[in-house]
């Protein structure tokens, strides 16, 4: 009988010093070589959704500074819930790519940023080749296996190898709250590595729940990332009100970001 892997805790925690607003993962910090930050509620990183969007640029400048970067080095995208991955470098600073849900780079001169409000953000890093990947993987992207597309781009275009690679996921909707309908469940059944370990049906009600972080963890493992090198968030953005949540706050929630760069 198949026993689903229990992945490590990514150790996401709020800032420890005054003036810092960004969350960090102790798993990523312990691994080294990548600087990162995750924006919590109150730090809207979207220019189109949520409140106080006219000051979003200032928050992006602050987020870049928090990881020793600058906004001139920042690349982001109009995400499309698809599986297109862009290879980027320093020349892509300040660009907004269209229809892209992930980035791969081996250049410390570029800072990658993906947006989210409940959707998992996924980071993959090969410390041997110093290749960094970042992707947005909501239920649509996860059913398309965007993580496999990200890792294929990292390996085929940038020479990454998953033997020593590690991966982690930002705070996102958890299996406790992420209710889905039958049509989504059917797509999960058709695409997940092991749908029975990620779908849950309450016995006293007809509601169906999806554990997206575990679904993605199993995809990372299938792509060659060692299970002990995969860490998932313990927070759920729907029931933990310290985060932006599309499900809890609605379509004008605003957006968090995970941003990261290779340390130089």
Binding site residues, Zn ion, CB under 5 A? 174, 176-177, 236, 238-239
CB-wise, 61 or 184, nearer to Zn ion? 184
CA distance 158 to 197: 33
Smallest separation, CB 98 to Zn ion (Å): 32
- Neighbour-count burial of 16, counting CB atoms closer than 10 A to its CB (0-12 exposed, 13-18 middle, 19+ buried): exposed
Smallest separation, CB 239 to Zn ion (Å): 3
116: three-class secondary structure by DSSP: strand
Smallest separation, CB 238 to Zn ion (Å): 5
Task: Single out the residue of 129, 102, 128, 133 nearest to residue 36, CA to CA.
Answer: 133
Structure tokens at 152: 């294929």
CB-wise, 38 or 243, nearer to Zn ion? 243
Torsion of CA 58, 130, 214, 221, to 10 degrees: 170
Smallest separation, CB 209 to Zn ion (Å): 9
CB-wise, 57 or 176, nearer to Zn ion? 176
Structure tokens at 240: 């933990």
CB-wise, 123 or 173, nearer to Zn ion? 173
- Enclosing H/E stretch for 13: strand 12-13
């Amino acid at each position: 009988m198949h026993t689903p892997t229990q992945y490590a805790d990514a150790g996401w925690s709020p800032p420890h010093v005054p003036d810092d607003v960004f969350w960090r993962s102790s798993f990523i910090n312990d691994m080294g070589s990548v600087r990162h930050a995750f924006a919590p509620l109150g730090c809207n990183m979207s220019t189109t959704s949520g409140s106080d969007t006219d000051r979003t640029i200032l928050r992006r400048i602050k987020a870049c500074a928090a990881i020793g970067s600058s906004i001139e080095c920042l690349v982001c995208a109009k995400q499309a819930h698809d599986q297109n991955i862009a290879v980027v470098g320093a020349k892509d600073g300040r660009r907004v790519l269209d229809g892209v849900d992930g980035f791969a780079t081996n250049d410390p001169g570029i800072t990658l940023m993906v947006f989210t409000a409940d959707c998992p953000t996924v980071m993959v890093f090969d410390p041997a080749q110093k290749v960094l990947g970042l992707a947005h993987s909501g239920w649509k992207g996860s059913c398309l296996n965007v993580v496999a597309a990200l890792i294929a781009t990292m390996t085929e275009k940038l020479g990454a190898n998953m033997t020593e690679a590690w991966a982690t996921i930002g705070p996102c909707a958890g299996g406790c709250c992420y209710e889905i309908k039958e049509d989504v469940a059917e797509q999960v059944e058709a695409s997940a590595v092991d749908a029975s370990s990620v779908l849950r049906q309450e016995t006293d009600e007809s509601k169906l729940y999806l554990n997206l972080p575990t679904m993605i963890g199993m995809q990372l493992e299938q792509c060659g990332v060692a299970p002990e090198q995969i860490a998932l968030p313990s927070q759920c953005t729907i029931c933990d009100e310290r985060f932006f949540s599309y499900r809890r706050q609605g379509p004008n929630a605003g957006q968090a970001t995970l941003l990261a760069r290779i340390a130089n």
